[in-house]
Amino acid sequence: MSIADVIERARAQGRRVLTEVESKQVLAEAGIPVVPARLATTAQEAAAAARELGFPVVLKVVSPDIVHKTDVGGVRLGLASAEEVAQAFQDIVDSARRHVPQARIEGVSVQPQARPGVEVILGMSKDPQFGPVLMFGLGGILVEVLKDVSFRIVPIAPRDAREMVREIKAFPVLEGYRGQPPADLEALERMLLRLSDFAQAHPEVEELDLNPVFAYPDGAVAVDARVLLG
């Protein structure tokens, strides 16, 4: 499905939030590397998708009504066999129903478990004066508590992407410390530039979160993503 199709379908259903599966479809279409996610509506479908993607896999609940998936027991990691996947599917759906009885549950997303990397966050939001603004920071506590993030107004130039990555205080973490290999900074810059293009081409997108993105010595990939329409 094209970006426009995905957005149109969400709109038709009266939704502003795209599911993780939809968000990743849209971003992949825009040339942003994502961990592919498949929607499974039954335990059998989930097991089949896992076999195709290769083990281990991660399962996450897909529901427009559930934002914090972990809080409702909606995420399972490191599933290594078809049996574990089928069981996890059932557990996730049951747990989500118990926590949020009125939630519309579309199913469960199945995706390969990404190898660990340095966690970073990329985002886009709308400023009342400047319009779309990109954000970059290191994952977790650094963004949430220390607000160690950089911003630029869309559209950005390569120079801006370079500065965004380098001006956060935690930049030395990306350069590699205590013998860790440096993260692929160019891959992060490329992602920022593609996000900028995407935000410019799609003014209907109000907010965008790629959280986390795993940065590797060779490349970077969005592990989770959320697109909010205006």
Partner 1 sequence: MGGLPYSPEELRARLDRAFNPRAVAVVGDKRANGYLWLNSMRTFQGPVYSVQIDPQEAAAIAAMGFANYASLRELPGPVDYVVCAVPRQVAPRIVADCAETGATAVALFTSGFAETEQEEGVRLQREIGDIARRSGLLLIGPNCMGIYSPAAGVRHSAEQEVYDDGRVAFISQSGTHCINFSLVGYLHGVRCSKTVSVGNCELLDIPDYLDYFLHDPATEVIAMYVEGPRDGRRFFQVLQEAARRKPVVVWKGGVTEPGARAVYSHTASLATAPQVWRAAMRQAGAIEADSLEETIDVVKALLYARPTTGRRMGLIAMTGGQSVVITDAFAREGLEVPRLSQRSYDRLASFFNIIGGSYRNPLDAGGTVAMGFAVDNVRRLLEVLDDDQNVDAIAFEVGTGFLVRRIRQDPALAESLADALARFRDGSAKALVTVVHPGHAEDVSAQIRARFVERGLPVFATFQQAARALRKAIDYWRFRQELE
Residues that bind partner 1 (CB under 8 A): 127-131, 133, 147, 149-153, 156, 159-160, 163
Look at residue 220 and give its three-state secondary structure.
strand
- Of 44 and 200, which CB lies nearer to partner 1 in the complex structure? 200
Contacts of residue 196, defined as CB under 8 A and 6 or more positions apart, other chains included, come to: 134, 152, 154, 155, 156, 161
- Of 55 and 171, which CB lies nearer to partner 1 in the complex structure? 171
CB of 32 to partner 1, least distance (A): 21
* Residue 203, preceding peptide bond in cis (omega within 30° of 0): no
CB of 18 to partner 1, least distance (A): 24
Q: What are phi and psi of 21, to 5 degrees?
A: -60, -45
- Of 2 and 200, which CB lies nearer to partner 1 in the complex structure? 200
CB of 196 to partner 1, least distance (A): 11
CB of 205 to partner 1, least distance (A): 16
DSSP H helical segments within the chain, as ranges?
3-12, 20-29, 43-53, 82-99, 141-144, 158-166, 171-175, 185-201
- Of 151 and 216, which CB lies nearer to partner 1 in the complex structure? 151
β partners of residue 132: 126
CB of 6 to partner 1, least distance (A): 27
178/221 Cα distance (integer angstroms):
23
